[in-house]
Amino acid sequence: MATVCTNCGFDNPPGMRFCGNCGTRLPENASAAPVPSTPESSSPRPAAAAQQFPNVDPERLGVMTGSDLMERFRQAGLEASGQRRNVTILFVDLSSYTSLSEQLEDEELYSLVQKFIRLLVNDVYKYEGMVDKLTGDGLMALFGAPIAHENNAERAMRSAMDMMADVALLSHELDLHGHELRIHIGLNAGTVIVGGLGGDGLMNYTAIGDSVNLARRLEETADPGMILVSKNVYQQTYRLFDFEALAPLTLKHISRPISAYRFLGPKANPGMVRGLEGLRAPMIGRQNEFRQVQAMVDRLVHERQGGVMMLVGEGGMGKSRLTREIKAQLDFTQLRLLEGQSLTYRRAIAYWIFQDMLRNFLGLTPESPEEEVRRRLRETVYAVLGGIGQPHTGALEKIAYLEHMLALEPSREEESDRLLADRIRYLDPGQLQQQIFLAVRDLLLAVAAQRPVLLVLEDLHWADDASLDLVRFLLDSTRSAPLLIYAISRPFEGGAVQAIHERAGQRLAERYLFIRLQALPPDQSAQLLQALLTIQDLPDMLREQIIQRSAGLPFYLEEILRMLIENKVIYHDGRQWQLTPGADSVSIGVPETLQGLILTRFDRLSASQRRVLQTASVVGSQFNAQVLHLVMGRMPGQAVEGHAEKLTRDEIDEALALLAEREYILPQIGIPIADESGEGEATFLFKHVLVSDAVYSTLLQRDRRDLHTRVGLAIETLYAGRLEGQIEVLAGHFMRSSLLDRSLYYLLSAGQKAARSYANEQARLHFSQALEVLPKVDHTPEQSVQVYQGLGDALLTAGEYLPAREFFTRALETLGAQAGTSSLLDPGASQRIDRQRMISLLQRKIGRTHEGQGDYDKAMVCLRAAQSVLTGGYAEYTAERANILSDSGWIDFRRGSLEQAEAALEEALKLSEAAGQLDVVASVLNRLAGIHYQRDSLEQAERFLVRSLVLREQIGDVVAVSRSYNNLGLLGWRQGNLDSALDNFNHSYQMQKNLGDVEGLVVLRTNMGLIELDRGNLAQAERHFSEALETAGQIGHFYHVNMARMHLALLNFYAGNWQNVLEYGRL
């Protein structure tokens, strides 16, 4: 039997005690190679036999990896029993093997195959790839699994280059009877499922997925001597290698055309590899940005000048470091620091970043008991707005809206609390949003009046729409108050953050500072390396590797050093850092992406630590230890069999402590949650959200579903009785779980909650997700109606009338189709009334979609249908009948049928007053005023307007109040009472300014300009019209732009400035 050398893999003849290739002593029980064919059996073979590749035992390939690498493969492979990984797949095959096999004797062919396979395998393991399988006349290799690397594609490319060179050298060295040994290679990068497929051996570890198939097809397409790569590989390595783009390929079993690139060679001057941020370090290279931010803070403190700063940079660029340095320099006796942070898993919760800011201001956390939150909020707002023990008259009102923003149940202990709760109930979502905006703004301004405020808003790119709208609303307040907003975001293109950036630039001028961080140049990276790690005689090659591969991003450089420490390349001897002897030529791996960097460290954790981190990534970027205990917990002494993923409480806590020590997560002190022991639980935050994302990405879909199910159930248990603040989180977990019926319930609740807060896009998202879940679970007709109506309302608010109508119609069809079969449609009197009222409401909403499109005939048909279903004299129908009549009257008004409109509105007024619907009463009175305005019955119009105004002020509808004052101004203008008109316009203008309603301000500027034009004050009129034109242009409202230009043309006509008339007249 031939004996394989454990050092070099050479097949030695039987009886050899030392390797004939390298001289290493051979073990007596070394593995034996297959016996080659004897001369007697080397007669010509059948064609089928000639094409068969000689067998090579995969387990024997381990002798070429080295014991350390092989053990790492084995441990990672056996413990990673099913994961998703981003890898680079390499397929290589020998070209023209059949022809070659026909020309060689069996023994020659066997020897050639042994050398060929050893050569290929060695070139894979050289770059810490793994041979997945032998494929007949070649092999498949993985780079990135079971051990993650930071630069998988580069490693695979270099392995392919070495294969080409080594095979060419082998072909030159051997006598192949005139034949040339050539190979062809295909590479692709992508996500695969990796894990063991039965058995215990390493080589049962494999990868499956479309990415593998594409790599195989590229290899089959490549010509002899060609390396063909996919677009993914090209994008990750084009800075290092030269490629030639090929025409799109049509490949077997792949339906779409494939972009492919032919490898040409390494670049003469390779580019820098991109990287990301990290660990604690002194700030280097951000001095200019630091001075700019510090100057804004100094003006805030010494000149009480507010403004806005936006710091933008890729993840890992150093935003957090710069911010920490700024905060470290603050004098908290001169200013107050308020901080809020957006979290990716909280994006579905309206106002999250401001909830976080307010909780931080109050010294609370998301786990704080509701009564504690309410108590501290009231104490603080009373103190800030009205003085201790003497609440400001508006403080209670502000508190009510802040409590609503924090998702607290309305308090009804005091009469004033009940009145405020009732007032909020009357507000529509838009009005409620305005009140929340005003409450937050007034609180911030009151705090700033005591001491200048620096408001830090971190990770704005993950903020919810309501929070971003509130940030945009607050911008103008910084012009007149010592409030400095410091927003931190990743780069953006379009969207709400872009809108904030543009508005700040337009409105704030020099009070707006925009900073985009760039990568550090090499000299500053060297300074950072020296500041972090002072090692005498650090080899230049190692220093250059660290600096080059850090690519100018502090996080990369810091994480490389952390990796070197964990790998014991460098160590601390108690006095200083030292380089481990013999480590000066170490090859440093820098992750191609942050995910690769994280997973490189992740794979070095123990199995239990990895499971804890994976489970935590499912819970979210911020998590409570008790959730992990419930999800992963195993009682001490409980058998592990059947609970492979279960750990004891002590094991979980030990893993968390180690993960915190290694700074995967950061510990925070949690608020006690009631449990059997009565003790509080620690809370943790992933140091970087991308750590959570990268770890989460390793989980298979089945494991994600299982963990989301368990996490959702754990949260329900922990927060039993106070789930209002967890609705969106639970919706997210159960939507990804095996309990989709639960997700439907929470998605509906989350959508309704968002709609009440006028977070329309979030409401639309939740209802859309509920629509996807609906056919997948058993559900009631009630739930179908709620989904369709909720989506219809969101679309109607967005002005998407046709799809809104379709969903309202589907809700109607559900009500009709299920009549008499559901609890909602129970033939009992109460249920029948609810059903008829729901049908009427839906018909009226369908009518609103037609009205929005200008089709008044169809709108009236719908309103008549809405009225017809309200049979019987039930008092429950009164409010809906009032709404129907009011909408009918409004359509008649728009058609010019004033008598019909008046009759309908008068009847609506009686019904709404009888039902006590004050918001409807106020709206009807306002519409009646419009009728009398059109008839020139101006005194009557004024009476209705004043009554409407009084009601709107009574229920706290500030938006409607401001519009009422504008209407009173128009009435005064029509009456010729220009002074009174101007007073009302000014009053409305101040309210609109406080509300941040820019369009309303444009309208009022125009109206005030018309007053001054009638008075003959052309200069004043021109100022108003010009400001209206400028602001309308800033917000992109072309109707108001054209109106302002028209009035400026008219003004210049009166002034005789004909050139300006022509200029402004070009609409």
The pLDDT score that the predictor gives to residue 408 is 86
| Mean pLDDT for all residues in the chain | 81
Distance of CA 143 to the CA centre of its chain: 29
Name the nearest CA neighbour of 712 among 696, 686, 731: 731
Token readout for 957 is 């509808």
Helix (H) or strand (E) holding 457: strand 453-458
Residue carrying structure tokens 């923003």 = 405
The model's pTM is: 0.63
**Cα 128 to Cα 148: distance, rounded to the nearest angstrom:** 10
The pLDDT score that the predictor gives to residue 673 is 42
Strands 83-94 and 138-143, bridge-based pairing: antiparallel
Token readout for 824 is 């909602």
Most confident option among 29-38, 349-358, 417-426, 720-729: 349-358
**Cα 343 to Cα 621: distance, rounded to the nearest angstrom:** 7
Instruction: CATH number of the domain at 204, please.
Output: 3.30.70.1230
Q: Which residue has the higher pLDDT, 942 or 15?
A: 942
Q: Which residue has the higher pLDDT, 779 or 254?
A: 779
Token readout for 335 is 């200013």
Check whether residue 239 and residue 298 sit in a common domain: no
Token readout for 586 is 């170490």
* pLDDT over 90, % of the chain: 36
The pLDDT score that the predictor gives to residue 714 is 92
CB atoms within 10 A of CB 989: 22
Number of domains in the chain: 5
Question: Which residues are within 8 A (CB) of 794 and not within 5 positions of it... i.e. 6 or more apart?
Answer: 751, 755, 760, 761, 763, 764, 767
Distance of CA 1058 to the CA centre of its chain: 55
The pLDDT score that the predictor gives to residue 1021 is 92
Name the nearest CA neighbour of 751 among 349, 409, 482: 349
CB atoms within 10 A of CB 473: 20
Q: Is 915 helix (H, G, I), strand (E, B) or coil?
A: helix
The pLDDT score that the predictor gives to residue 564 is 77
Q: Is 410 helix (H, G, I), strand (E, B) or coil?
A: coil
Name the nearest CA neighbour of 840 among 799, 885, 803, 802: 885
Ramachandran angles phi, psi of 634, nearest 5°: -135, 135
- Looking at the domain assignment, is residue 564 inside a domain? yes
Instruction: CATH number of the domain at 962, please.
Output: 1.25.40.10
Average confidence (pLDDT) over 164-169: 90
Check whether residue 768 and residue 902 sit in a common domain: no
Average confidence (pLDDT) over 327-355: 85
Check whether residue 732 and residue 794 sit in a common domain: no
Question: Which residues are within 8 A (CB) of 903 and not within 5 positions of it... i.e. 6 or more apart?
Answer: 889
**Range in 661-670, 954-963, 984-993 the model is least confident about:** 661-670
Name the nearest CA neighbour of 514 among 524, 522, 505: 505
Name the nearest CA neighbour of 766 among 778, 785, 749, 784: 749
Q: Is 630 helix (H, G, I), strand (E, B) or coil?
A: helix
- Looking at the domain assignment, is residue 1059 inside a domain? no
Q: Which residue has the higher pLDDT, 9 or 600?
A: 600
Average confidence (pLDDT) over 222-228: 94
Beta bridge partners, 336, equal 453
**Cα 949 to Cα 969: distance, rounded to the nearest angstrom:** 13
Helix ranges restricted to H, 145-238: 152-173, 210-221, 231-237
Name the nearest CA neighbour of 237 among 260, 212, 266, 208: 266
- Looking at the domain assignment, is residue 261 inside a domain? yes
The pLDDT score that the predictor gives to residue 22 is 44
pLDDT in tens, 628-685: 999 997 544 444 333 346 888 889 999 999 998 877 888 875 444 434 443 456 889 8
Check whether residue 544 and residue 443 sit in a common domain: no
Check whether residue 436 and residue 481 sit in a common domain: yes
Range of the domain at 340: 287-516
Q: Is the pLDDT of residue 389 over 50?
A: no
Check whether residue 793 and residue 922 sit in a common domain: yes
Determine contact, residues 794/756, Cβ cutoff 8 Å.
no
Determine contact, residues 630/718, Cβ cutoff 8 Å.
yes
Q: Is the pLDDT of residue 277 over 80?
A: no
Distance of CA 136 to the CA centre of its chain: 45
Residue carrying structure tokens 């308090």 = 411
pLDDT in tens, 459-512: 898 899 999 999 999 999 999 999 999 999 988 877 899 999 999 999 998 999
Determine contact, residues 489/495, Cβ cutoff 8 Å.
no
Determine contact, residues 218/260, Cβ cutoff 8 Å.
yes
**Cα 603 to Cα 610: distance, rounded to the nearest angstrom:** 8
Check whether residue 473 and residue 527 sit in a common domain: no
Q: Is the pLDDT of residue 947 over 90?
A: yes
**Cα 1005 to Cα 1024: distance, rounded to the nearest angstrom:** 5
Last residue of a domain, one of 500, 516, 532: 516
**Cα 374 to Cα 359: distance, rounded to the nearest angstrom:** 11
pLDDT in tens, 703-739: 899 999 999 999 999 888 888 888 999 999 999 999 9
Check whether residue 121 and residue 199 sit in a common domain: yes
Query: How far is the CA of 95 from the CAs of 137, 221, 424, in angstroms?
Result: 8, 12, 77
Phi-psi region of 318 (alpha: psi -120 to 50; beta: other; left: phi over 0): left
- Looking at the domain assignment, is residue 272 inside a domain? no
Last residue of a domain, one of 516, 539, 560: 516
Q: Which residue has the higher pLDDT, 933 or 873?
A: 933
Distance of CA 190 to the CA centre of its chain: 21
DSSP single-letter state for residue 475: G
Q: Is the pLDDT of residue 520 over 60?
A: yes
CB atoms within 10 A of CB 23: 10
- Looking at the domain assignment, is residue 18 inside a domain? no
The pLDDT score that the predictor gives to residue 69 is 53
The pLDDT score that the predictor gives to residue 878 is 87
**Cα 806 to Cα 814: distance, rounded to the nearest angstrom:** 12
Determine contact, residues 77/198, Cβ cutoff 8 Å.
no
The pLDDT score that the predictor gives to residue 288 is 92
**Cα 698 to Cα 599: distance, rounded to the nearest angstrom:** 9
Helix (H) or strand (E) holding 91: strand 83-94
Strands 260-266 and 205-208, bridge-based pairing: unpaired
Q: Is the pLDDT of residue 8 over 70?
A: no
Cis-peptide into 146, omega within 30 deg: yes
**Range in 7-11, 255-259, 627-631 the model is least confident about:** 7-11
* Helices and strands (DSSP H and E) totals, the chain: 42, 21
Residue carrying structure tokens 């290929």 = 120
The pLDDT score that the predictor gives to residue 183 is 92
The pLDDT score that the predictor gives to residue 9 is 54
The pLDDT score that the predictor gives to residue 395 is 84
Q: Which amino acid is at 482?
A: P
Check whether residue 255 and residue 377 sit in a common domain: no
Ramachandran angles phi, psi of 422, nearest 5°: -65, -35
The pLDDT score that the predictor gives to residue 768 is 95
- Looking at the domain assignment, is residue 659 inside a domain? no
Q: Is the pLDDT of residue 176 over 80?
A: no
**Range in 277-286, 520-529, 976-985 the model is least confident about:** 277-286
**Range in 287-296, 430-439, 450-459, 469-478 the model is least confident about:** 430-439
Q: Is the pLDDT of residue 302 over 90?
A: yes
Check whether residue 369 and residue 358 sit in a common domain: yes
* pLDDT over 70, % of the chain: 79
- Looking at the domain assignment, is residue 843 inside a domain? yes
Q: Is the pLDDT of residue 89 over 90?
A: yes
**Cα 534 to Cα 894: distance, rounded to the nearest angstrom:** 79
Whole-number CA gyration radius for the chain: 36
CB atoms within 10 A of CB 1: 12
The pLDDT score that the predictor gives to residue 84 is 79
Q: Which residue has the higher pLDDT, 544 or 1039?
A: 544
Instruction: CATH number of the domain at 507, please.
Output: 3.40.50.300
Token readout for 165 is 């060179």
Strands (E) in 97-182, as ranges, are 130-134, 138-143
Q: For the chain, how long is the longest CA-to-CA vector?
A: 123
Determine contact, residues 836/869, Cβ cutoff 8 Å.
yes
pLDDT-derived band of residue 759, with 50, 70 and 90 as boundaries?
Answer: confident
Q: Is 575 helix (H, G, I), strand (E, B) or coil?
A: coil
Question: Which residues are within 8 A (CB) of 256 and not within 5 positions of it... i.e. 6 or more apart?
Answer: none
Identify the burial level of 141 via C-beta atoms within 10 angstroms of its C-beta, where 0-12 means exposed, 13-18 middle and 19 or more buried.
Answer: buried
pLDDT in tens, 794-853: 888 766 789 999 999 999 999 885 544 444 444 556 677 788 889 999 999 999 888 877
Token readout for 920 is 């409807």
Q: Which residue has the higher pLDDT, 850 or 1040?
A: 850
The pLDDT score that the predictor gives to residue 280 is 55
The pLDDT score that the predictor gives to residue 821 is 44
Q: Is 881 helix (H, G, I), strand (E, B) or coil?
A: helix
Check whether residue 320 and residue 256 sit in a common domain: no
Ramachandran angles phi, psi of 479, nearest 5°: -75, -25
Check whether residue 244 and residue 361 sit in a common domain: no
Give the Cα-Cα-Cα angle 197, 198, 202 (nearest 5 degrees): 75
SS3 string, 812-877, reads HHHHHHCCCCCCCCCCCHHHHHHHHHHHHHHHHHHHHHHHHCCCHHHHHHHHHHHHHCCCCCCHHH
- Looking at the domain assignment, is residue 379 inside a domain? yes
Calculate helix-pair angle for 370-386, 395-405, nearest 10 degrees: 140
Last residue of a domain, one of 776, 809, 829: 776
